[in-house]
Amino acid sequence: MKIPTAAFGYTLGGVTLAVAVLTPFLLIGLFANGFASLGLHVDEVYSGGPIVRTVNAQGYTVAIHRTVVPHLLQRGETFVQLDWKPVGALPPHMNELVDIDGDGQPDVRVSFDVPKNPKEHLHADIDALNARYRTVHGIGRDAFTSMIVRADDAILVRVPLAKGAR
């Protein structure tokens, strides 16, 4: 018996389409392991860098990240990111002295309001207590290296370093 050409073509097309749709799902583990072995990571200018220290406070923590220096082709200033979490444990107004470098002396005073509405815009004031950091008032989301944002269950504040400080 001879198979009609049109039916064979449609069947072959259907099988090809099914294989094309299912292949990514069948090979996802192979692709994921391949990308993981490349050692790729999000640039520190975007992630805030790795956490070097965590300070416990009354019901919340302040995570202090490593100093981030933008690369040659990146705009912006050197900064340190601080993460306050969980947001639900923060008082309505934060006014905290933070020892960024771990020498036992506060380096900056960070103050900001913690609104109940997570979509409300945040504003912060950073007062430098030594020459390594820069005083900035009224920061929001406008500048990338001195900003305050709410991300998930944390409030992230980026403290800019003074010109020439590392």
128-145 confidence digits (pLDDT tens): 999 999 999 999 988 878
Range of the domain at 117: 44-160
Q: How far apart are the first and last CA of the chain?
A: 81
Q: Does any domain span residue 93?
A: yes
Q: Note the pTM of the prediction, 2 decimals.
A: 0.75
The model's confidence at residue 4, banded by pLDDT at 50, 70 and 90, is low
Q: Does any domain span residue 165?
A: no
Whether residue 110 sits in one domain with residue 50: yes
Whether residue 78 sits in one domain with residue 146: yes
Give the chain's mean pLDDT.
88
Contact of 136 with 125, CB cutoff 8 Å: yes
Contact of 68 with 44, CB cutoff 8 Å: yes
How many domains would you assign to the chain? 2
Q: Map residue 153 onto helix, strand or coil.
A: coil
Contact of 89 with 154, CB cutoff 8 Å: no
